[in-house]
A = this chain, B = another copy of it.
Amino acid sequence: MDAAEETLRRSLAARAAAVTAQASAVRDLKAAKASSADIAAAVDALNALKLDAAAAERELIAAVSGGGEGDANGGAGMSREAFRQAVVNTLERRLFYIPSFKIYRGVAGLYDYGPPGCAVKSNVLAFWRQHFVLEEDMLEVDCPSVTPEIVLKASGHVDKFTDLMVKDEKTGTCYRADHLLKDFCKEKLEKDLSLPVEKVTELRHILAVLDDLSSEELGAKIKEYGITAPDTKNLLSDPYPFNLMFQTSIGPSGLSPGYMRPETAQGIFVNFKDLYYYNGNKLPFAAAQIGQAFRNEISPRQGLLRVREFTLAEIEHFVDSEDKSHPKFGVVSNLEFLMFPREKQTSGEKATKLRLGEAVDKGIVNNQTLGYFIGRVYLFLTHLGIDKDRLRFRQHLANEMAHYACDCWDAEIESSYGWIECVGIADRSAYDLHAHTEKSGVSLVAHEKFPEPREVEKLVIAPVKKEIGLTFKGNQKKVVEALEAMSENEAIEMKSALESKGEVEFQVCTLGQNVTIKSNMLSISKEKKKEHQRVFTPSVIEPSFGIGRIIYCLFEHSFYMRPSKAGDEQLNVFSFPPLVAPIKCTVFPLVQNQQYEEVAQQISKALKTSGISHKIDITGTSIGKRYARTDELGVPFAVTVDSTTSVTIRERDSKDQIRVSVEEVASVVKEVTDGQSTWADVQWRYPAHSSFSADE
What is the interface of chain A, defined by CB distance below 8 A to chain B? 95, 98, 100-104, 107-108, 110-115, 117-119, 121-122, 126, 129-130, 134-135, 137, 139-148, 150-151, 165, 172-174, 242, 246-253, 255-256, 258, 260, 267, 270-271, 273-275, 278, 280, 292, 294, 296-299, 308-309, 436, 439-440, 442, 444, 608, 611, 613, 615, 619
Contact = CB atoms under 8 A, between A and B. Distances in A.
A147 B115 CA distance: 20
Contacts of A108: 251
A292 to B, nearest CB: 6
A134 B245 CA distance: 36
Nearest to A110: B144
Given A100-B267, A270-B101, A248 B248 contact: yes
A619 B101 contact: no
A242 B252 CA distance: 7
Contacts of A173: 253
B249 A246 contact: yes
Interface-central residue, A144, A172, A611, by most chain B CB under 10 Å: A144
Given A142-B112, A252-B174, A440 B103 contact: yes
A247 B119 CA distance: 30
A472 to B, nearest CB: 37
A524 to B, nearest CB: 35
Nearest to A269: B103
Nearest 9 CB-CB pairings of A with B: A113-B142, A103-B440, A103-B442, A144-B309, A174-B252, A115-B139, A112-B143, A246-B248, A118-B140
A308 B274 contact: no
B140 A129 contact: no
Contacts of A151: 101, 104
Given A100-B143, A103-B436, 11 more contacts: A95-B278, A98-B141, A112-B142, A114-B274, A115-B278, A172-B253, A173-B253, A174-B251, A174-B253, A246-B249, A251-B296
A146 B274 contact: no
Contacts of A442: 103
15 contacts: A101-B150, A102-B270, A102-B271, A113-B141, A113-B143, A114-B141, A115-B139, A115-B275, A121-B142, A122-B129, A145-B309, A172-B253, A246-B258, A249-B296, A251-B297
Contacts of A278: 95, 114-115
B615 A101 contact: no
A111 B436 CA distance: 19
Contact of A613 (B121, B134, B172): B134
Nearest to A440: B103
B248 A104 contact: no
A139 B116 CA distance: 8
Given A95-B278, A101-B147, A253-B174, A141 B165 contact: no
Contacts of A140: 115, 118-119, 122
A296 B134 CA distance: 34
A267 B112 contact: yes
Q: How many chain copies?
A: 2
Contacts of A613: 134
Given A146-B309, A174-B253, A249-B246, A440 B141 contact: no
Contacts of A144: 100, 110-112, 308-309
A273 B148 contact: no
A25 B255 CA distance: 54
A308 B251 CA distance: 9
A104 B270 contact: yes
B101 A148 contact: yes
A296 B102 contact: no
Nearest to A92: B274
A249 B242 CA distance: 13
Nearest to A297: B251
B103 A135 contact: no
A619 B98 CA distance: 52
A253 B297 CA distance: 11
Nearest to A311: B142
Contacts of A104: 148, 150-151, 270, 439-440
A170 to B, nearest CB: 13
B271 A135 contact: no
Contacts of A139: 114-115
A274 B98 contact: yes
A263 to B, nearest CB: 15
Given A165-B252, A173-B253, A251-B174, A142 B129 contact: no
Given A112-B142, A113-B141, A142-B121, A252 B103 contact: no
A256 B140 CA distance: 36
Contacts of A119: 140
B294 A146 contact: yes
Contacts of A101: 147-148, 150-151, 270
A619 B281 CA distance: 13
A613 to B, nearest CB: 6
Nearest to A171: B253
B115 A141 contact: yes
Contacts of A110: 144, 146
Contacts of A308: 144, 146, 250
Contacts of A113: 141-143
A134 B583 CA distance: 10
A107 B148 contact: yes
A456 to B, nearest CB: 29
A650 to B, nearest CB: 22
A586 to B, nearest CB: 13
A267 B139 CA distance: 32
B135 A608 contact: yes
A252 B298 CA distance: 6
B118 A141 contact: yes
A142 B290 CA distance: 15
Contacts of A252: 165, 174, 242, 296, 298
Q: Which of A100, A146, A255 has the most CB of B within 10 A?
A: A146
Contacts of A134: 608, 613
Contacts of A98: 141, 271, 274
A196 B674 CA distance: 72
A114 B150 contact: no
Contacts of A141: 98, 112-115, 118
A79 to B, nearest CB: 29
A129 B126 CA distance: 12
